Amino acid sequence: MNKIIELFRKLKFQLLLGAGLIIGTVLITALLINIFERKREARNPYVRLVEVTENDTDPAKWGINWPKEYDSYKLTALSTRTRFGGHGGSEAMPQEKLERDPWLKRMFQGYAFSIDYRDRRGHAYMLSDQESTKRLSKPQSGSCLHCHASVMPLYRKLGDGDAAKGFEKSYQYSYQELNQILHDEGHAHPVSCVDCHDPKSMELRVTRPGFIKGIQSLAQSNSPVPHIPSIQRWREGDRKKPYDPNREASQTEMRSFACAQCHVEYYCGPKMPLTFPWGKGLKVEEVEEFWNTTQYTDGTPFSDFVHAETGAKLLKAQHPEFELWSQGIHARSGVSCADCHMPYMRDGATKVSDHWVRSPLLNINRACQTCHRWPEEEIKARVDVIQERNHNLLQRAAKALMDQLDAIQQAKKEGATEIHLKEAFEFQRKAQWRLDFIAAENSMGFHAPQEAARILGEAADYARQGQVAAVHWKKTKQ
């Protein structure tokens, strides 16, 4: 009997041992398969389910192949806000800046931005917001689509296959005309995957003719660009071929160039082709010098608009993020736009660039703490101090400009003519250009804090000098 019991015990033990071995083998096999699949995913992070080409401007089609990037891109439709920036989401149009800072309306008197000037929204709205702005009640050029739509197929159509030629023609169309063609051709999408990625290789690239011409003119200038080493190397070469960012820029540089296709200062009106003003450099006074020496195609001196109240011929800054970032410590340290606004994130074993483009303050863990080992609240507090100081400087410079406008108004009531006020007008142009350069830039000075403070200090100084010139206009008469 004992032998039978012992036999059963051995048999039970062997069965349990066998079952354990089978379960263990299954688990180990599953683990190895999982590791193998993760490694394979890491080597080949996507599988092409559909072919995409240069004419595929709908991001949803690209999203079939690259769903992780597309899923995060769609999040740009969500509402996000910071203390000095952010945007409304899908629920409503963003707030009017003109209501929050009434001096903007007076500063832009005579220009479309005095009619409608709102906070920004995410990339998902860049075309629809442009189509609905009240600024379209004034004539607007078709070249404005350059930075609001996936426009390269449209350029090829206008140029009979040559995108560069089509780009050169685009300013001759009204915004409504070109926008209608865009819709008719099925390309009415915001800036899309094809604008920054090669559809064959998915390599990062730049496509916008305005940027390519602008960065080539910057390369040909003598302005120092220590944050763009590839331009410095090109300058040291034979220069037989124009600087080509797609061939010569590093991956890190491209992670800023892709953004600089649109987040820059430019002219996109009806009097000449869209122009990035970098032929003398990227600093505020270098861009100003470029505009001051530019003429329209009819030979008249360049200005964006004539101030309706004073008659001064003025400049309008767009959103010079690339220019101001170029003067800051992050650029000098090799930190790109995408490092902060599209930081890498882990998805399983795959590293993905976050396409939810937004303020780093809303993503401090991945955007800032990769380099800065301080608590989130500490980082946020430091940024807040910088932005608050620049905001206060901005308001003081705006007050100085408004005082200058008051002085010019008073001088005109006293009989001052355009000749008497010539010096005051020149100071108004310089003051307004600098004030607008920081007001229109989307970082409240954070991209280059000391440079922003310098620019705002100059804005206040020029406005006060202009105020004095207007008050003493009679001395000019003598």
- DSSP letter string over 185-205? TT---SS-GGGTB-TTT--B-
Q: In this predicted structure, what is the pLDDT of residue 19? A: 73
Q: pLDDT tens digits, residue range 69-125?
A: 999 999 999 988 888 876 544 445 566 788 889 999 999 999 999 998 888 888 999
- pLDDT over 70 percentage in the chain: 93
Q: What is the DSSP string of 379-426?
A: HHHHHHHHHHHHHHHHHHHHHHHHHHHHHHHHHHHTT--TTTTHHHHH
Q: In this predicted structure, what is the pLDDT of residue 86? A: 60
Distance CA(105)–CA(320), nearest Å, equals: 20
| Closest to 302 in 3D by CA, of 275, 263, 329, 325 | 275
Query: Which carries the bigger pLDDT value, residue 447 or residue 45?
Result: 447
Q: pLDDT tens digits, residue range 373-399?
A: 999 999 999 999 999 999 999 999 999
In the numeric block, which tokens belong to residue 282? Answer: 């990227």
Distance CA(25)–CA(82), nearest Å, equals: 53
Checking if the pLDDT of 126 tops 90, the result is: yes
DSSP 295: B
- pLDDT over 90 percentage in the chain: 81
Phi, psi of 247, deg, nearest 5:
-100, -35
- How many residues in the chain? 478
Q: How many CB atoms lie within 10 A of CB 403?
A: 16
Partnered with residue 458 across adjacent β-strands are none
Q: pLDDT tens digits, residue range 1-32?
A: 667 677 767 777 777 777 777 777 777 777 77
Q: pLDDT tens digits, residue range 391-442?
A: 999 999 999 999 999 999 999 999 999 999 999 999 999 999 999 999 999 9
Q: pLDDT tens digits, residue range 339-348?
A: 999 999 988 7
Checking if the pLDDT of 43 tops 70, the result is: no
Q: In this predicted structure, what is the pLDDT of residue 1? A: 62
**What's the whole-number average pLDDT of the chain?**
92
How far CA 441 is from CA of 84, 172, 261, in Å, comes to: 11, 28, 15
Q: In this predicted structure, what is the pLDDT of residue 226? A: 97
| Closest to 221 in 3D by CA, of 279, 181, 179, 264 | 279
Checking if the pLDDT of 39 tops 80, the result is: no
Strands (E), 33-114: 80-81, 86-87
